[in-house]
Amino acid sequence: MQHCLESALPRALPIDGYAIGALICLKSYLGKRGIPSLVVMNNFMQRLRLDTVTPSVSDMPLFPRRWAEYYQVVTGRPPRETLLMALDHFNSEALSCSRTTVGFAVDLGCGDGRDTAELLRCHWRVLAVDGEPDAIALLRNNQNIDRTYLETRVQRFEDLTLPPDVDLINASFCLPFCPPSHFSELWREIETALRPGGRFCGHLFGDRDSWAVFPDLTHHTRQQIDQLLTHFEVELLNEEEHLGKTALGEEKHWHLYHIIARKR
Protein backbone atom coordinates (compact mmCIF):
# COMPACT_ATOMS: atom_id res chain seq x y z
CA MET A 1 0.00 0.00 0.00
CA GLN A 2 2.88 2.31 0.77
CA HIS A 3 4.23 1.86 -2.77
CA CYS A 4 0.80 2.60 -4.22
CA LEU A 5 0.53 5.79 -2.22
CA GLU A 6 3.98 6.92 -3.33
CA SER A 7 3.25 6.23 -6.97
CA ALA A 8 0.01 8.16 -6.72
CA LEU A 9 1.79 11.32 -5.63
CA PRO A 10 2.36 13.90 -8.35
CA ARG A 11 5.82 14.32 -9.80
CA ALA A 12 5.98 17.93 -8.70
CA LEU A 13 3.92 20.25 -6.58
CA PRO A 14 4.27 23.98 -6.01
CA ILE A 15 5.07 25.09 -2.50
CA ASP A 16 1.84 26.79 -1.56
CA GLY A 17 -0.98 26.48 0.91
CA TYR A 18 -2.49 23.62 -1.07
CA ALA A 19 0.72 21.59 -0.93
CA ILE A 20 1.09 22.15 2.79
CA GLY A 21 -2.53 21.21 3.35
CA ALA A 22 -2.06 18.07 1.27
CA LEU A 23 0.96 17.14 3.36
CA ILE A 24 -1.00 17.51 6.57
CA CYS A 25 -3.88 15.43 5.22
CA LEU A 26 -1.49 12.73 3.99
CA LYS A 27 0.21 12.56 7.38
CA SER A 28 -3.13 12.13 9.15
CA TYR A 29 -4.26 9.46 6.66
CA LEU A 30 -1.09 7.42 7.07
CA GLY A 31 -1.10 7.69 10.84
CA LYS A 32 -4.61 6.27 11.10
CA ARG A 33 -3.58 3.24 9.05
CA GLY A 34 -0.29 2.46 10.76
CA ILE A 35 1.75 3.16 7.63
CA PRO A 36 5.32 4.46 8.17
CA SER A 37 4.38 8.00 7.30
CA LEU A 38 7.83 9.56 7.59
CA VAL A 39 9.16 7.55 4.62
CA VAL A 40 6.23 8.47 2.40
CA MET A 41 6.24 12.07 3.55
CA ASN A 42 9.96 12.42 2.82
CA ASN A 43 9.32 11.23 -0.74
CA PHE A 44 6.40 13.64 -0.93
CA MET A 45 8.58 16.54 0.17
CA GLN A 46 11.23 15.67 -2.39
CA ARG A 47 8.63 16.01 -5.16
CA LEU A 48 7.69 19.54 -4.19
CA ARG A 49 8.86 21.93 -6.91
CA LEU A 50 11.23 24.25 -5.08
CA ASP A 51 12.45 26.39 -7.95
CA THR A 52 9.39 27.52 -9.87
CA VAL A 53 6.78 28.83 -7.46
CA THR A 54 7.44 31.13 -4.53
CA PRO A 55 4.39 31.52 -2.30
CA SER A 56 3.41 34.86 -0.90
CA VAL A 57 3.14 35.09 2.87
CA SER A 58 -0.56 35.88 2.58
CA ASP A 59 -1.14 32.49 0.88
CA MET A 60 0.46 30.48 3.66
CA PRO A 61 -1.45 29.18 6.70
CA LEU A 62 -0.94 30.90 10.05
CA PHE A 63 -0.12 29.07 13.24
CA PRO A 64 -3.30 27.87 15.03
CA ARG A 65 -3.10 29.46 18.47
CA ARG A 66 -4.97 27.11 20.80
CA TRP A 67 -3.83 28.64 24.06
CA ALA A 68 -6.85 27.70 26.18
CA GLU A 69 -6.28 24.01 25.40
CA TYR A 70 -2.56 24.38 26.02
CA TYR A 71 -3.06 25.93 29.47
CA GLN A 72 -5.33 23.08 30.49
CA VAL A 73 -2.81 20.43 29.43
CA VAL A 74 0.27 21.97 31.10
CA THR A 75 -1.36 22.92 34.40
CA GLY A 76 0.80 21.77 37.29
CA ARG A 77 3.91 21.06 35.24
CA PRO A 78 7.29 21.93 36.82
CA PRO A 79 9.42 24.95 35.88
CA ARG A 80 11.68 24.74 32.86
CA GLU A 81 15.20 23.39 33.29
CA THR A 82 16.74 26.48 31.70
CA LEU A 83 15.20 28.63 34.45
CA LEU A 84 16.38 26.31 37.21
CA MET A 85 19.90 26.32 35.79
CA ALA A 86 19.92 30.11 35.53
CA LEU A 87 18.79 30.38 39.16
CA ASP A 88 21.65 28.08 40.14
CA HIS A 89 24.08 30.47 38.43
CA PHE A 90 22.72 33.36 40.47
CA ASN A 91 22.92 31.31 43.65
CA SER A 92 26.57 30.53 42.96
CA GLU A 93 27.24 34.27 42.68
CA ALA A 94 25.68 34.78 46.14
CA LEU A 95 23.40 37.71 45.35
CA SER A 96 22.95 39.87 48.43
CA CYS A 97 20.92 38.08 51.10
CA SER A 98 20.18 41.34 52.91
CA ARG A 99 17.54 42.26 50.33
CA THR A 100 13.91 41.32 50.83
CA THR A 101 13.92 39.83 47.34
CA VAL A 102 16.80 38.04 45.62
CA GLY A 103 16.48 39.99 42.38
CA PHE A 104 14.13 41.34 39.75
CA ALA A 105 12.98 38.99 37.01
CA VAL A 106 10.76 39.37 33.96
CA ASP A 107 8.91 36.25 32.85
CA LEU A 108 7.96 36.73 29.20
CA GLY A 109 5.14 34.62 27.81
CA CYS A 110 4.45 33.51 31.36
CA GLY A 111 1.36 31.46 30.48
CA ASP A 112 -0.30 30.04 33.55
CA GLY A 113 2.86 30.77 35.55
CA ARG A 114 4.86 27.57 35.90
CA ASP A 115 8.14 29.56 35.85
CA THR A 116 6.74 32.62 37.62
CA ALA A 117 5.68 30.44 40.56
CA GLU A 118 9.22 29.11 40.94
CA LEU A 119 10.72 32.60 40.84
CA LEU A 120 8.32 33.79 43.53
CA ARG A 121 9.06 30.70 45.62
CA CYS A 122 12.75 31.60 45.41
CA HIS A 123 11.98 35.15 46.64
CA TRP A 124 12.39 37.02 43.38
CA ARG A 125 10.35 40.07 42.46
CA VAL A 126 8.61 39.21 39.19
CA LEU A 127 7.00 41.05 36.32
CA ALA A 128 4.99 38.40 34.47
CA VAL A 129 4.00 39.33 30.90
CA ASP A 130 1.73 37.52 28.46
CA GLY A 131 -0.26 38.57 25.42
CA GLU A 132 -3.23 36.43 26.44
CA PRO A 133 -5.56 37.84 29.15
CA ASP A 134 -6.62 34.29 30.04
CA ALA A 135 -3.04 33.40 30.94
CA ILE A 136 -2.69 36.32 33.33
CA ALA A 137 -6.06 35.49 34.87
CA LEU A 138 -4.92 31.91 35.53
CA LEU A 139 -1.72 33.15 37.12
CA ARG A 140 -3.42 35.69 39.37
CA ASN A 141 -6.03 33.13 40.45
CA ASN A 142 -3.39 30.61 41.47
CA GLN A 143 -3.93 30.14 45.21
CA ASN A 144 -0.56 28.40 45.65
CA ILE A 145 1.60 31.46 45.05
CA ASP A 146 2.38 34.52 47.14
CA ARG A 147 1.57 37.54 44.96
CA THR A 148 3.26 40.07 47.25
CA TYR A 149 6.13 40.62 44.82
CA LEU A 150 4.23 39.83 41.63
CA GLU A 151 3.29 42.35 38.97
CA THR A 152 1.42 41.20 35.87
CA ARG A 153 0.90 42.76 32.48
CA VAL A 154 -1.08 41.82 29.37
CA GLN A 155 1.12 42.91 26.48
CA ARG A 156 2.03 41.44 23.12
CA PHE A 157 5.61 41.14 21.97
CA GLU A 158 5.00 43.69 19.21
CA ASP A 159 4.31 46.37 21.86
CA LEU A 160 6.64 45.19 24.63
CA THR A 161 8.35 47.75 26.84
CA LEU A 162 10.52 46.62 29.74
CA PRO A 163 11.90 48.43 32.79
CA PRO A 164 15.66 48.92 33.14
CA ASP A 165 18.14 47.06 35.38
CA VAL A 166 16.49 43.66 35.16
CA ASP A 167 18.49 40.81 36.70
CA LEU A 168 16.87 37.97 34.78
CA ILE A 169 14.66 37.71 31.71
CA ASN A 170 13.06 34.32 31.31
CA ALA A 171 11.40 33.40 28.01
CA SER A 172 10.43 29.73 27.95
CA PHE A 173 9.17 28.57 24.55
CA CYS A 174 7.55 31.93 23.79
CA LEU A 175 9.83 34.18 21.71
CA PRO A 176 9.25 32.20 18.47
CA PHE A 177 5.63 33.39 18.62
CA CYS A 178 6.77 36.96 18.01
CA PRO A 179 6.13 37.87 14.36
CA PRO A 180 9.40 37.92 12.40
CA SER A 181 8.94 41.58 11.47
CA HIS A 182 9.07 42.53 15.17
CA PHE A 183 11.66 40.12 16.50
CA SER A 184 14.72 42.37 16.10
CA GLU A 185 13.01 45.13 18.06
CA LEU A 186 11.94 42.65 20.73
CA TRP A 187 15.48 41.33 21.14
CA ARG A 188 16.86 44.87 21.44
CA GLU A 189 14.30 45.52 24.19
CA ILE A 190 15.52 42.43 26.04
CA GLU A 191 19.18 43.38 25.68
CA THR A 192 18.56 46.95 26.81
CA ALA A 193 16.49 45.94 29.84
CA LEU A 194 19.09 43.57 31.26
CA ARG A 195 21.70 45.06 33.56
CA PRO A 196 25.36 44.14 32.94
CA GLY A 197 25.73 40.71 34.52
CA GLY A 198 22.02 40.02 34.11
CA ARG A 199 20.90 36.85 32.40
CA PHE A 200 18.60 35.72 29.64
CA CYS A 201 17.28 32.17 29.73
CA GLY A 202 14.82 30.57 27.39
CA HIS A 203 14.31 28.89 24.05
CA LEU A 204 14.31 29.70 20.35
CA PHE A 205 13.17 27.54 17.43
CA GLY A 206 15.60 26.45 14.73
CA ASP A 207 15.06 26.77 11.01
CA ARG A 208 14.50 23.01 10.60
CA ASP A 209 11.60 22.96 13.05
CA SER A 210 8.39 21.73 11.44
CA TRP A 211 6.60 24.91 12.47
CA ALA A 212 8.94 26.92 10.24
CA VAL A 213 6.21 26.66 7.56
CA PHE A 214 4.15 29.22 9.49
CA PRO A 215 5.08 32.75 8.36
CA ASP A 216 3.89 34.37 11.60
CA LEU A 217 6.45 32.48 13.72
CA THR A 218 10.15 33.28 14.07
CA HIS A 219 12.85 30.67 13.51
CA HIS A 220 16.64 31.00 13.54
CA THR A 221 19.69 29.34 12.06
CA ARG A 222 22.65 28.57 14.34
CA GLN A 223 24.55 31.47 12.82
CA GLN A 224 21.69 33.83 13.64
CA ILE A 225 21.61 32.55 17.22
CA ASP A 226 25.31 33.29 17.56
CA GLN A 227 24.72 36.82 16.28
CA LEU A 228 21.92 37.39 18.78
CA LEU A 229 24.26 36.42 21.61
CA THR A 230 27.13 38.66 20.55
CA HIS A 231 26.82 40.83 23.66
CA PHE A 232 26.45 37.88 26.02
CA GLU A 233 28.67 35.35 27.70
CA VAL A 234 27.04 32.06 26.73
CA GLU A 235 26.61 29.72 29.69
CA LEU A 236 24.37 27.21 27.91
CA LEU A 237 23.59 26.76 24.23
CA ASN A 238 22.19 23.33 23.50
CA GLU A 239 20.80 22.60 20.07
CA GLU A 240 18.19 19.84 20.06
CA GLU A 241 16.57 18.21 17.06
CA HIS A 242 14.24 15.23 17.23
CA LEU A 243 10.85 13.84 16.33
CA GLY A 244 8.34 14.21 19.12
CA LYS A 245 4.98 15.57 20.12
CA THR A 246 3.61 18.90 21.26
CA ALA A 247 1.92 19.41 24.62
CA LEU A 248 -1.36 18.84 22.79
CA GLY A 249 -0.19 15.45 21.55
CA GLU A 250 0.46 16.41 17.92
CA GLU A 251 3.46 14.98 16.08
CA LYS A 252 6.21 17.50 15.47
CA HIS A 253 9.81 17.72 14.31
CA TRP A 254 11.47 19.78 17.02
CA HIS A 255 14.49 21.97 16.35
CA LEU A 256 15.27 23.93 19.49
CA TYR A 257 17.94 26.04 21.13
CA HIS A 258 18.11 25.98 24.94
CA ILE A 259 19.88 29.14 26.06
CA ILE A 260 21.34 30.69 29.18
CA ALA A 261 23.43 33.80 28.56
CA ARG A 262 24.94 36.47 30.82
CA LYS A 263 25.05 40.04 29.52
CA ARG A 264 28.56 41.45 29.34
Q: Residue 167 belongs to a domain with what CATH number? A: 3.40.50.150
Q: Among 42, 59, 76, where does a domain finish?
A: 59
Distances from the Cα of 159 to the Cα of 64, 111, 171, 179, angstroms: 21, 17, 16, 11
Q: Are residues 39 and 166 in the same domain?
A: no
Q: Are residues 42 and 132 in the same domain?
A: no
Q: Are residues 221 and 97 in the same domain?
A: yes
pLDDT in tens, 93-149: 875 555 667 899 999 999 999 999 999 999 999 999 999 999 999 999 999 999 999
Q: Among 59, 78, 94, where does a domain finish?
A: 59
Residues 20-43 have a mean pLDDT of 50
| pLDDT score for 55 | 56
Q: Are residues 9 and 105 in the same domain?
A: no
| pLDDT score for 126 | 98
Q: Are residues 75 and 29 in the same domain?
A: no
Tell me the residue type at 254: W
Please, which pLDDT band fits residue 31 given cuts at 50, 70 and 90?
Answer: low
pLDDT in tens, 208-231: 999 999 999 999 999 999 999 999
Q: Are residues 49 and 135 in the same domain?
A: no
Q: Are residues 101 and 20 in the same domain?
A: no
Q: Among 24, 43, 59, where does a domain finish?
A: 59
| pLDDT score for 102 | 85
Q: Are residues 55 and 72 in the same domain?
A: no
Q: Are residues 85 and 117 in the same domain?
A: yes
Question: Among 4-8, 71-75, 147-151, 172-176, which is the least confidently predicted range?
Answer: 4-8
Q: How many CA atoms lie within 13 A of 195 on its CB side?
A: 12
State the distance between the two ends of the chain, measured CA to CA, in whole angstroms.
Answer: 58
Q: Would you say residue 57 has pLDDT above 80?
A: no
| pLDDT score for 21 | 45
Residues 71-99 have a mean pLDDT of 88
Q: Are residues 94 and 171 in the same domain?
A: yes
As for how many domains the chain has, the answer is 2
Q: Would you say residue 34 has pLDDT above 70?
A: no
Q: Are residues 148 and 90 in the same domain?
A: yes
Q: Are residues 168 and 195 in the same domain?
A: yes
Please, which pLDDT band fits residue 5 given cuts at 50, 70 and 90?
Answer: very low
Q: Would you say residue 14 has pLDDT above 90?
A: no
Q: Would you say residue 151 has pLDDT above 70?
A: yes
**Please, which residues bridge with residue 30 across strands?**
none
Could you list the residue range(s) of the whole structural domain that residue 163 is in? 67-263
Distances from the Cα of 125 to the Cα of 6, 35, 166, 258, angstroms: 57, 51, 10, 24
pTM, two decimal places: 0.79
Provide DSSP, the chain. -HHHHHHHS-S-EESSHHHHHHHHHHHHHHHHTT--HHHHHHHHHHTEETTT----GGGSPPP---HHHHHHHHTTPPPPHHHHHHHHHHHHTT--TTSSSS-EEEEET-TT-HHHHHHHHTT-EEEEEES-HHHHHHHHT-TTS-GGGEEEEE--GGG----SSEEEEEESS-GGGS-HHHHHHHHHHHHHHEEEEEEEEEEEEBTTSGGGG-TTS--B-HHHHHHHTTTEEEEEEEEEEEEEE-TTS-EEEEEEEEEEEEE-
pLDDT over 90 percentage in the chain: 73
Residues 28-54 have a mean pLDDT of 50
Whole-number Å distance between alpha carbons of 202 and 219: 14
pLDDT over 70 percentage in the chain: 75
Average pLDDT, the chain: 85
